[in-house]
Chain A
């Protein structure tokens, strides 16, 4: 029996290859702009967050910031050896997730900003995903 072909980056998800027809973005009730993307950034510490927020404002990118915790911090949380009070220390991990629905063009500018203006150890993890529908966006 031949192996199933592996999916490659850029492949359409399996669900989209099913027989069930997927509505075209235009046909959706709350269709987003064709170049809309969800920009996700995981900012490792608070000091660099300030610069990133300033950069996003300069570029005209709106966003929402969520306090977050790394996987290892979460694992360590239930198993302190000497530092059981660490969970009470505000912003123990201090990482933040920045979410923004923006355009491909602006997202590219944000990436350029992160690449050139933020030094390597502080540079956030950033990614974009295409958005087909959206509701409640403030323009």
Chain B
């Protein structure tokens, strides 16, 4: 009974948070950053969880692991369904280049730092033994590998939400940059899921002992592709039977996600990666009702995101060793400094060309510092894969990186807004602030017309 109540609370909160009236809040730039980043939902989840009011216990959540896996499948499928052939070809070359530069930089810098940080953290815990025996058990390097992979893959990309950063973005170049940030974030999410889904399988567990196995990783990748192709063909057939009926389309989608994610989880593959590949194959198969199906599924994006953020808040173990906090701060500092630099470097030609195709300066470059919500989903996947206090702490580390990475762009955005309102920074042409700065009278509402 309790388990149903827990699920009911989560679903009700997710639906409430994405109600039409709550969308009104998202028109505020600050609220859009907090809501789309999932931070309010994470806080609500944390309050409901073990370290808050204790309404939903972790043991109860553990029983909902199958639901968690289906949720991961839903996210993976949503990401994959976007990758239609024509969408991929429509992505500007600058976005592809930017994604490549960012992924390479993230893996090269964060990979070794994460490996070192996680090793130091677990070694310190083992010697101090103040954070439970499970961490000590995880201290063997192969067992730590998935955690290091999670931090590296989580470092790829950035948040796709651009509304909170667009203080002066109402210009043509600003609009173009907002699209580049959005597309780049989305493409990076695909790279991150693939990197995590493949690299994580380099470690296998045999009788509770973790060891490296390259052959298994390759076999897992091949099996995932095979599973995705089979599931997509079944999905296409089921969709043709469902036709345009929304109820039946939802039933097909849920069945497909459960099938793919469930089989992936049972065969030690990544549910997120398998579902994403299924989405990619499905979207590229000719089907009459696919467009409608995609729109229908994508509409639930925010509700699923809130549900996952609530779960993440419930699942975290915030009792972090100082080294774990230090690791999170180090990665956040990398994001603050490295990501905007990578964005500017990757778009150098477009920024500095004559005429420039993108604005040479913009707060949107700083927005690249913000962690992608996919990192949160991948951290939840780690907990679903193997339920341990160490993995719950890893989830806390990922959330801490995400929270810290939001601060710098938020300060920049607020500062910029104040500068615009005080007239220190020029506003884009056509705005009331720009007209006032140039001494033009504020337009008066016409008699009898709307102001």
Binding site for B on A (CB under 8 A): 14-15, 45-47, 72, 75-76, 78-94, 121-122
Whether B178 pairs with A86 at a CB distance below 8 angstroms is no
Binding site for A on B (CB under 8 A): 20, 23, 26-27, 32, 35-36, 38, 75, 78-79, 81-84, 86-87, 90-91, 160-163, 166, 178-179, 182-187, 189, 244, 246, 289, 291-292, 294-295, 298, 301-302, 304-305, 373-374, 377, 448
Whether A84 pairs with B186 at a CB distance below 8 angstroms is yes
Of listed A45, A47, A78, A94, residue having the most chain B CB within 10 A: A78
Residue of A with least CB distance to B283: A89
Which residues on A sit within 8 Å (CB–CB) of B184? Answer: 84
Whether B292 pairs with A47 at a CB distance below 8 angstroms is yes
Contacts known (A82-B79, A84-B160); A47 close to B244, Cβ less than 8 A: yes
Which residues on A sit within 8 Å (CB–CB) of B291? Answer: 46, 89, 91, 94
- The docked-state distance in angstroms from the alpha carbon of A89 to that of B90 is 9
Which residues on B sit within 8 Å (CB–CB) of A89? Answer: 82, 84, 87, 291, 294
Of listed B23, B26, B35, B295, residue having the most chain A CB within 10 A: B295
Of listed A14, A81, A91, A121, residue having the most chain B CB within 10 A: A81
Known: A81-B160, A88-B90, A94-B295. 15 other contacts (CB 8 A): A45-B292, A47-B244, A78-B32, A79-B26, A80-B161, A82-B373, A82-B377, A83-B78, A84-B160, A84-B182, A85-B91, A85-B183, A85-B187, A89-B84, A89-B87
Which residues on A sit within 8 Å (CB–CB) of B75? Answer: 82
Whether A88 pairs with B91 at a CB distance below 8 angstroms is yes
Interface of A (DSSP majority class): loop
The smallest C-beta distance from A131 to any residue of chain B, in angstroms, reads: 20
The smallest C-beta distance from A123 to any residue of chain B, in angstroms, reads: 14
Contacts known (A72-B20, A75-B23, A88-B90); A82 close to B295, Cβ less than 8 A: no
Whether B298 pairs with A86 at a CB distance below 8 angstroms is yes
Q: Return the contact of B182 from the options A45, A80, A92 (Cβ within 8 A).
A: A80
Which residues on B sit within 8 Å (CB–CB) of A91? Answer: 291
Which residues on B sit within 8 Å (CB–CB) of A79? Answer: 26, 32, 35-36, 161-163, 302
Which residues on A sit within 8 Å (CB–CB) of B289? Answer: 47
Whether A93 pairs with B295 at a CB distance below 8 angstroms is yes
Residue of A with least CB distance to B77: A82
Report, nearest first, the 10 A-B pairs whose CB atoms are least far apart.
A84-B186, A84-B160, A78-B163, A85-B82, A81-B305, A84-B182, A85-B186, A80-B160, A79-B36, A88-B87
- What are 24 inter-chain pairs, A to B, with CB distance below 8 A? A47-B244, A47-B292, A72-B20, A72-B23, A75-B23, A75-B26, A76-B301, A78-B178, A79-B26, A80-B182, A81-B301, A81-B302, A81-B305, A81-B373, A82-B79, A82-B189, A82-B304, A82-B305, A82-B374, A84-B185, A85-B186, A87-B179, A88-B87, A89-B82
